Amino acid sequence: MACTSNSTDANLVRDYIQGDEKSLELLIYKHKLKIYNFIFSKVHDSEVAEDVFQETFIKVIKTLKNGSYNEEGKFLSWVMRISHNLIIDFFRKTNRMPKFEARSDDYDVFQFIKDDSPNAENTLINKQIVNDLQKLILELPLDQKEVLNMRIYRDMSFKEIAEATGVSINTALGRMRYAIINLRKMVMDNQIFLAQ
C-alpha cells in the first residue's frame, strides 16, 4: 500500500511492520511536534528533549520490530506513555526528581496534576498520575483514606466529615493531615513523577 500523509496510524504501523520503512518516517513526521513539545514541557531543555525524543522512537522501533506492539488504534497514546517513562528515567538518573517541600501541612500532591495546556497528551499523562495516586490512597489506613476521599473526591467540609464519621473536627483534620503526610512519603518512596 502506498503511504500518504492521510494514512491512519494503524495502517502506517501495519505497513512498517510489513517492511515499509517510509511508514515509520510518516508516523514520526505526523507526531513529532506533539511528542517533542510534551517532552520539552517537562524537561525544559532542548538537548535533553531531543535525546528523550530519539530514545522514545528507538523503543518504538524495537517494539514494532520484535512484534510485541498490541496497541491497535492507540499509537500516539502508547508513544506518549513511552516518552513519559523515559522522562521519569531521565529525572531518576540525574537525581532531578521533583522535590516536595515539607514546610507545610497543607501540602497537596494533587496540585502537581495541573497543567496549563489542556490537550490529549497531558490528559493521558494526568490520568496515569491520578491512577498512581489512587492506588497509593488504597494503601492508607482506613480512617485516613475515608477522610481523604470525603475531602478530595466528595468535596465535603471538615465539619461534614466529622459528623459523617462520628469524630471531632480536630480528629478529622488530624486524619487528613496524616493522610497527606503518608501519601507524600509514598509518592517519594515509589518515585512517582508528578507532571508539572
Q: How far apart are CA 115 and CA 108, in angstroms?
A: 15
- The pLDDT value recorded for residue 168 is 92
Buried b (16+ CB within 10 A) or exposed e, 94-115: eeebeeeeeeeeeeebeebbeb
DSSP 109: G
- The pLDDT value recorded for residue 100 is 43
Is residue 4, in this structure, part of any structural domain at all? no
Tell me the pLDDT tens digit for each residue of 89-138. Answer: 888 777 655 544 444 444 445 544 444 445 555 666 666 677 777 788 88
Closest CA to 17 of 72, 66, 57, 55: 66
Grid cell in block for residue 31: 507526531
CA–chain centroid gap for 113, Å, is 9
Whether 164 has a pLDDT exceeding 50, the answer reads yes
Q: Check whether residue 13 and residue 89 sit in a common domain.
A: yes
Q: How far apart are CA 187 and CA 109, in angstroms?
A: 9
- The pLDDT value recorded for residue 189 is 74
Tell me the pLDDT tens digit for each residue of 78-92. Answer: 898 889 888 888 887
Mean pLDDT of 61-65: 89
Q: Check whether residue 121 and residue 53 sit in a common domain.
A: no
| CB atoms closer than 10 angstroms to residue 5 | 8
In CATH, what number is assigned to the domain containing residue 137? 1.10.10.10
Percentage of the residues of the chain whose pLDDT score is greater than 70: 74
Going by pLDDT thresholds of 50, 70 and 90, the confidence category of residue 52 is very high
Name the burial class of residue 133, with classes exposed (0-12), middle (13-18) and buried (19+) by CB atoms within 10 angstroms of its CB: buried
Average pLDDT, the chain: 77
Q: Which domain holds residue 153?
A: 109-189
Domain end among 63, 93, 123: 93
Is residue 3, in this structure, part of any structural domain at all? no
CA–chain centroid gap for 82, Å, is 11
Helix axis angle, 158-165 to 142-152, nearest 10°: 140
For residue 103, give the H/E element and its range: none
Domain end among 93, 123, 156: 93
* Range among 83-92, 123-132, 171-180, 182-191 with highest mean pLDDT value: 171-180
Q: Check whether residue 115 and residue 88 sit in a common domain.
A: no
Kindly report whether the global pTM for this prediction surpasses the value 0.85: no
